Amino acid sequence: MNPKLFGTDGIRGIPGEEPLTSESIRKIAGGFATLLKKMANGKKNPSVVLGKDTRASCAMIEQAIAAGLTDVGVDVQLLGVLPTAAVAYLTSHLKADGGIMISASHNPSDENGIKFFTSTGEKLNEKEEAFVEKNIGLRAERSRKGTAMTFAKAEAEYLSFLADSSGKPKLNSLPIIIDAANGAAYKAAGIFATLGAAAAVINNKPDGKNINKDCGALHPEQLQKEVLAAKAACGIAFDGDSDRLIMVDEKGSVADGDAIILALAKQMLSKNKLAGKTVVVTEYTNTAFDDELEKLGVKVARVKTGDKYVYEEMKKRGYALGGEQSGHIIIGNNTTGDGILAALSVASMMKETGKPLSELAKLEQKPQVLINVEVKEKKELSTLPLTSAAIAAAEKMLQQLKGRTLIRYSGTQNMLRIMLEGNNKGEIKKLAEEIAEAAKKELN
């Protein structure tokens, strides 16, 4: 097994291949059980809640995790198909000692992953991840074999939480189109209609293989057409495990995470709910976001990519809003991105202010180009002469364009992400393509 299993957001891979074989998954579950027993002061029979998205491979992984946990004395509550944020919430709400979500989020259906939570619903930090890896394959002491039981009220408990957390907004007849990405939100998305919206849900018929396929937060093209055709007030797009939110305004334009977070920040500021007058974002957030909030006297704190790092900064400083350009948005005391809660908050804002989404989420972003290059191996970039030279040339040019570069490997996929931002889109596109071409030659 790979000595470094954890990426930016848990463990990911191809089901049936290392590390996602049944045997390895059982061992990983055992390592997590050892961590939980340590955190629960040696408790021999801790409890874990276990949720999943709609991928066909989730059944095999769920079975392997449950077997690995019960074998070392852990009691498991099976939640069924639910968003990642629901698992995080229910871990804490049900007073479980830990939580696990089976999902590869926005990745294709032939990939899958495992996300882990502590008793507070927080994702594991790097020390905790290292502890799990160190204890994989070690048999933890048990007083009895654990049990695995279905928790039938999981969805109802999460929907109740969503309604309460969003203030039970009255979305009376607000016309919206929701793209559930054939993923974990395909049933939970019904809460918008429950709260009074005239909501139509598309891509809500998962078959195990169509999750994220040409739909959802990464592919909003269909949603854009549907919004315009229906003359809806907005469109809402989730990804496979619903921890991301991308929206479409009434004009058919896409509002990414930056624009949505900006709208929420302004609303929270007006209600004196923006703690510390600070918003936490990552390196990818467009610098136009900072400029807009600076006008309002709001500060921007930047952290490295990953919503768990956004959460860590929010918790450390007591901030109430943070997120990523990709659509992970954390509000209040939540411990992870929750696309449904964020969408409810925006829909409520639209009804309360009477303003269209195009006005609320207006953000004239600086030109930004992102190119993803699939790679066979993640080599240190400084050891690649062609790629290093292309990056150096781009950085020199961007000094004149008042821009910046952000070039890093994905923590969840075999991919090099090349992001350039500057005042001239044509020029930064050319520079990004030159870096990409060099990377393709040296990494494939």
**Residue 105 annotated in active site:** yes
- Whole-number Å distance between alpha carbons of 322 and 316: 13
C-alpha 72, offset from chain centre? 30
Backbone angles phi, psi at 281, to 5 degrees: -135, 180
- Whole-number Å distance between alpha carbons of 313 and 238: 24
47, 57, 103, 105: the catalytic one is 105
Whether the bond into 15 is cis, omega within 30 of 0: no
CA atoms within 13 A on the CB side of 70: 14
Matching residue, tokens 């049933």 = 187
User: Could you tell me if 279 and 264 are in contact, meaning their C-beta atoms sit under 8 angstroms apart?
Assistant: no
Backbone angles phi, psi at 52, to 5 degrees: -155, 165
**Structure tokens, 277:** 């007058």
Enzyme catalytic residues: 105
